[in-house]
Chains A and B, each alone.
Chain A
Amino acid sequence: MGQHRVIVVGAGPAGVRCAQMLVQRGMRAILVDENRRDGGQIFRRQPDSFGRSYGKLYGTEAPQARDMHDTFAKMRDSIDYLPETLVWNIAGKRLHLACEGRAFTRDFDALVLCTGATDRVMPVKGWERAGTYSIGAAQIALKAQACSIGASVVFLGSGPLLYLASSQYVEAGANVVAVLDTSAFSRRVRALPKLLARFDLVRKGAGLVSFLKRAGVKVETGVEPVEILGTDDAGVSGVRYRDAGGEVRELACEAVAIGQHLRPETQLADLAGCRFAFDTATRQWLPECDELGRSSVKDVYLAGDGVRVLGADCAEVAGQLAAAAVLGDLGYPIDAQGLGLLKQKRTRFERFASGIAEAFPWPAEQITRVSDDTVVCRCEEIRAGELRRVVRDEGAREINRAKAFSRVGMGRCQGRYCAHAAAEVIAGCANVPVEQVGRQRSQAPVKPLGIATRQEDA
């Protein structure tokens, strides 16, 4: 069998497990990653000059983190590893990459996209102020740099990461003022049958909440954010919110971590031409794939949180399933029994994830009623009122059209942090289902490139 060119994008749990399985079958894959080191966001490593232990860094996930890092270290010489390298476009069977100001290309026979996820964020009036960070950012500041994002922090949003990151802050000695969850507690109770697909995680989640309460942190559910208070110069000074009883309350703090769970980074799948479908449970468009991770485009495979957010455990499984699909499609024999076990695992993880989506829903209703003076697009600084104006006055009921008219989603982040919320604002204003608003098209380069970037092998 000739040498097949297989490229895996992303060195998080999905990418590393995928590459590992390819290596085990004697294939030398290219592993491209934007980060300096392997591990992805969840198992992100601290700089070499830091000395915290695995236990301190990754908590209950320490054994899994160590195993991922060891796995990578062992296969390091058996793969072509391209760290600090951005895949910025896909054209046919060619990837366009950039590293330290050099642009180059790599052709592939099979491509596995393990692009991970970023925070899914609900816009809150005042969130453009310095001192507002995503919850993922708060966690990275602690994990990778041993810093708190401020002297006193409110965590505001929903999803498992809200409780995990805030607990990690408390444990590290940061001053956490409150954890405010936009989801009602009753939703958790109703989602319990599905959540029990992973009793270990239910117990862990409950443990985090009681840990926060024991530490004296105010924990509230069913809240609605009203405003992140502060000034243009000094940044954040507090949070105003409506509690579950409808009472407006204020808390003083110097930093706010916001986020509503995570959203897949689907730009490369989009540029590869993959077909997307609307996911009703999480109210977003996601790339389609079969149970092994084959996308709608031949030779393009998808795995991990970059397709749907199911967590690190599932990403490891999905990475292996995608590797099996690649191997099978290239004519290698596949161990059917091993594959069956992996699929069973994934089914269980998916059931749990559907419970998470029910328990900690994306707050679509709250987003449709954000005030007109709430910034929706932080990059271009466009407010909800302007977005509603183009819906009403210009008839822009489709998100790409609304983007053209309003510039929402046209800035530096390319819609990563506003497109989902913008869709809800448009849907609410036009009074149409959010799926009819469509999804924002991805553009190359998927992240800004320096103008001095030089093409090497054109």
Chain B
Amino acid sequence: MKPRFVRLAETGRKSVRICVDGVEFDALEGDTVSVAILGNRSHLRTTEFGPERRAGFCMMGACQDCWVWTVDGSRLRACTTTVIAGMNISTKQPEVQWANIA
């Protein structure tokens, strides 16, 4: 999958290995989780209500479009969370979503 974000500078930082939906990626130290994921692929999640994918919107912690989850179930706001080596992220909410139960 094509990365969405393009790194324009600051590429000499140490790399940090994370796992997203079971796939291992390299991110860079100081990346937000948004940048870590979107530097490797084109989206962060699929919406609860529509068919399309989402990749965040405001990048400043206001719109909440960039929620992802750690595999143990904690919710992260990807644009304001700094990546940590070994993070294991799921872009799907780990439990059953109410919108899908009906």
Contacts and interface: CB of A to CB of B under 8 A. Distances in A.
Interface of A: 34, 36, 41, 46-52, 118-119, 128-134, 136-138, 140-142, 144-151, 172-174, 232-235, 254-255, 265, 378-381, 412-413, 416-417, 447-448, 450, 452
A130 B4 contact: yes
Contact of A149 (B4, B31, B43): B4
A120 B9 CA distance: 29
Interface string B12-32: 011000000000000001111
Nearest to B44: A130
15 contacts: A49-B13, A50-B10, A131-B42, A134-B57, A136-B58, A137-B59, A145-B5, A146-B7, A147-B5, A147-B38, A151-B6, A172-B9, A233-B52, A412-B67, A413-B63
Dominant secondary structure at the A interface? loop
Contacts of A52: 9-10
B59 A133 contact: yes
Contacts of A255: 4
Contacts of B44: 130
A412 B54 CA distance: 14
Nearest first, the 3 closest Cβ-Cβ pairs linking A and B are A47-B30, A137-B59, A412-B64
Contacts of B49: 380-381
Interface of B: 4-11, 13-14, 29-32, 35, 38-39, 42-44, 47, 49-65, 67, 74-75, 80, 82
B42 A416 contact: no
B82 A412 contact: no
A234 to B, nearest CB: 7
Contacts of B61: 34, 447
A233 B43 CA distance: 9
B28 to A, nearest CB: 8
Nearest to B10: A146
A148 B51 CA distance: 26
Given A47-B82, A132-B57, A234-B42, A149 B5 contact: yes
Nearest to B75: A450
Contacts of A233: 52-53
